[in-house]
Amino acid sequence: MLGESVLSIILNPVEDDWIYYCSFFTALVIAQVIQLTHYSSEEFDPSNHALSRDVLAGRLWLELMAVFSIALNALGAGLQLLLTR
């Protein structure tokens, strides 16, 4: 979904305006910061992961990932909206 955000930012008609360029780079920085935040807080050790902790934690993690994913998708669309209007 982060890939979709980057696509949404890049695949826009370029406007020759400094406000557009400011918005463009700010949008890229936002996507990068979210990516850094996500991967720095992600648990990569399988034994400590929520999926292997207990059944409720695993299920909650799965459902919250769906919410996170939708939020990321909405963020990408919002950034695109920001750049096109």
> To the nearest whole angstrom, how small is the minimum distance from the Cβ of residue 79 to another protein?
9
Taking residues 27 to 66 in sequence order and writing x for each that binds another protein by CB under 8 A, - otherwise, the string is -------------------xx---xx-xxx-xxx-xx-xx
DSSP 15-70: -S-HHHHHHHHHHHHHHHHHHHHHHHH----GGGSHHHH-HHHHHHHHHHHHHHHH
> To the nearest whole angstrom, how small is the minimum distance from the Cβ of residue 50 to another protein?
9
9 binding another protein? (CB under 8 A): no
> To the nearest whole angstrom, how small is the minimum distance from the Cβ of residue 85 to another protein?
9
Q: How far, in Å, CA of 7 to CA of 3, rounded?
A: 6
